[in-house]
Structure 1
Amino acid sequence: MSIETALEYADSGDADGVGFVFTDDDPIVGVDLDDCRNPETRDIDDLAVDIIERLDSYTEISPSGTGFHVLIEGELPDGRNRRGSIELYDTARFFTVTGDTLEESPSRVARRQDALEAIHREYVKDSESDGASESGYRGVTDEQASTDTAGDVDVDLEDEELLEKARNASNGEKFERLWRGSTAGYESQSEADMALCCLLAFWTGGDHTRMDRLFRQSGLLREKWDDVHYADGSTYGEKTIERAITSTSEFYDPDARDDSSEASSRQNESAITGSRDEPAENHAYLVEKNRLLTDRVDDLETTLEEKNERIDALEATNEALREQLRDCQETLERRDQASNPEMDEASANEGDSIWGRAKQFVGDGD
C-alpha cells in the first residue's frame, strides 16, 4: 500500500509502526546513510547531500535521527554493498519507515538506475577487490572471499557429519525444516533460500563451493537457482550465496566447544540482516506476522461471539412470536365458539376446526 495509507493506519494506534522488507520480488533499492546528520542543528554532511540530490527520490530521516533512508527503483550493482556510512540493500533487509521526509525531497519512489550505478562506483565499489575471485566462483568478490576465511577456520568434516551437527544444534529444527524444503514463516521462497544459505555459511566456514553443493541437496532447490539474474552473468544461486557469506559475521569452528559454536550460530542467525540500529528482517517479519495472525484470530473470535449472540436473540424473538401466535389462535377460537353456540359438535372438534389444525401446525413447529 502507499506510505500515506500505512502511516495513517499506524497513527490510529492499531500498529506499532511501519516497515518495508526488501525481497528479490520487488524493484526497490534502499540506500542507508548513517551518521551524516546532526539532529539538533539539522546539518547534513556534504557526502550525504551529494548522494541525496543525485538520487532525487523518496528520502526520510532514519529512526535515530542521525541518518537518512533513500528508496529508489533500480538494480543493485554487483560487488560490495557497503563502505563506511553508506549501505545499499535490495533483498533480505528490513527498513523502519518513519515518514519523516526530508524537506524538498520527492514524495514518490523514482527509478534512478544511472545515479545508483554512479554512486556505487564512486562511493562503495573497491576497484581492487570487486573483480572475480581467483577461486573461479562467479559473483563472489575477493573481499567476500577474504571474509569467508576471516577466522582462518577449515571445516574438514564430511558433509553428512556437518549436516548432523547442524540438525542437532539448538536451532536444528529450523535448519531441518528449511533443508526439507519448507518455507513456512517466510513471505517468499527467496527469503527461505537466504535463511538456509546463512545457516550453511556458518556451518561450512563460508565455503561458497560447499554451500552450493549442499544447497543442491536440499528440498529448496529449484530451477531458478541456476538462472542468470545479474548483468555480470551471476546466477540467482551464486548471488544468494554471496550475500549470505557477506551477512555472516561468525563461522563454525570445529576446534571450539560445541556450545560456543552453537551460540555463535544463534547470534549469526539473529544478525543475518540486522544492523546496529535496525532489527533483523527475519525476526521483525515473524514478530509482525505473528501479531497480525493473533489480531486476526481475535477479530474472528469477536465476530463469532457477536454472531452467536445474534442467533440467540433471533431464537428468542422467534419463540416470542410463536407464543403470540398461539395466544392469538386461542383467542380467535374462543370468539368463534362464543359467536356460534349451536355449532355442530363434529365441526367443533378441535382436530377438525381451522384453528385446531393451525394449533397442531404450531405445535408441530415447536
Structure 2
Amino acid sequence: MTPPLPTRAALPDALLDRPQWVGWRTQTTGGNETKLPLDVTGGYASATDASTWTTFDEAVAAVEEGEADGVGFVFTDDDPYVGVALDACRDAETGTTEDWAQVIVDRLDSYTEVDPSGTGYRVIVRGSLPPDGDRTGGLELYERARFLPVTGDRVDGTPGEVADRTAELTAIYRAYVQPGESVSEQPPEAEPPKHSASLAAVETPGNDLTDDQVVTRASNGPNGLQFRRLWEGDTTPYDSHDDADRALCSILAFWTGGDPQQMDRLFRDSGLYRNKWDGAYVADGVPYGEQTIAEAIEQASEFYDPSGFSSAVRRTASGHDSDDTGDGGDTDRDRRAGNSTRPGSKDDGGQADHSGGRTDRLTELQDRVDTLLEENERLREELDEERERRRVLEAEVDDEDDGGWSLFDWFK
C-alpha cells in the first residue's frame, strides 16, 4: 500500500528549503521489496549525484503525474542532518511500539514520522556520526549518500522541527551500533556461536568456478548492473543495508551453485562487508552473515551450472537438486562423478567416444564464452575511461567559456 503524499505543512522547513528531494518506486528484487530513487522524469536517481535531485514541490508533482510512488530526502556531506531508521518495531494496526524503539524516539526528541510500511519510524536530527558502522538489528543511521522515504505522518507528541541532537546520537551509537554491540542481546560469552544448521543441511550442487570467474560472470549476467553496484557497496536502491546484503547473497547463491564457503569469502571482498557480518547475532546465536547466506541458499530456486549439460540446476520440491534437462535421469553431479549409465557412457555399448567429442566441443564453447565475457569487461572499462575523458574535456571547455574571451571582444 502506497502512503499518502506529505504536505509542506507536515514537514520541517529546514528540509523543505533544500533541493535534495527525489521520488521513489517500490520494486521487488529477489523476493525482497526495495525502494528505488527516481528523478522527476521517472529515471533512476542517485544519492551521490545532485543533478538527479530536485525541490520538494517538483518531487511531489512527479508523484502526482505518476512518475513515482512517493518522495524522499537525500542526506549528504553538505547538510547537517542525520536520519535514524527504526525498523520492524511498530504494530501497523494498533501503533504499539517496542520498548527499545520508544526509548530512542524519546531520547532524540526531534521530528519523527511513521515509515511507509507503518511498521517502523524515521527520526531526523541535526548532528554527526562516529566514522565506523551505521546499523545493527532494526536500527540504522543515515548521514550521507542515502535517501530516506518521507511520509509526513508525524508521530503525536514529537517536535515538528529538526532538533540538534549530536550528544544524543553519540550516546545511541555507543549503546547500539558500536562494533560488538547489538540491539538484541548477544549469546553469553561462555556459549560459542553456533553454526547455522541450514548451511549444513541444504544440499547444493556447487560448481568449479573460481572467485574471479564468479565475479566476472555475475558482472556480465542479466542482472550485472545490480551486481556491480552491490559489489561496490552501493545500497542506494534499498531500504536498508541488510536488504542490500540479502540481494547480493541471492545473486552469489546462484553463481556459486550455493557454495556457502565461497559465498562468504566473496561477500567479505565486497563493498558491503561490515563488522555486523561476524559480530551481530540473530536467533539461536547464529552470526548475522551465516544466517543471511543460509536464507539466500534456502530461497534459491536454481543454481548456475557451468557444464555443457544445462545452464542451471533447479531445486525440486523436496529440496534436493536436479539438472534442468527435463529427462528425469541422473543429476549433473552424478555425471561428473562418473556414476551415470546414460547413452555415451562406458557401459553403453562403447559410444563413449561420441559423448567425449560432444563434451570437448561444449568445453571449447564455454572457453569461448569466457573469452567473450573478459573482452566485454575490457571494453566496458575502456568505455568508462572514455566517458571520464570526455567529462574532463567538457569541464575544460566550460572553464574557458567562463574566462570571458570571445571573438566579438577581440574585434573591439
The reply to whether TM is greater than 0.5 is no
TM norm structure 2? 0.38
TM norm structure 1? 0.41
Q: Per residue, is there more helix in 1 or in 2?
A: 1
Bigger radius of gyration, 1 or 2?
1
Q: Per residue, is there more strand in 1 or in 2?
A: 2
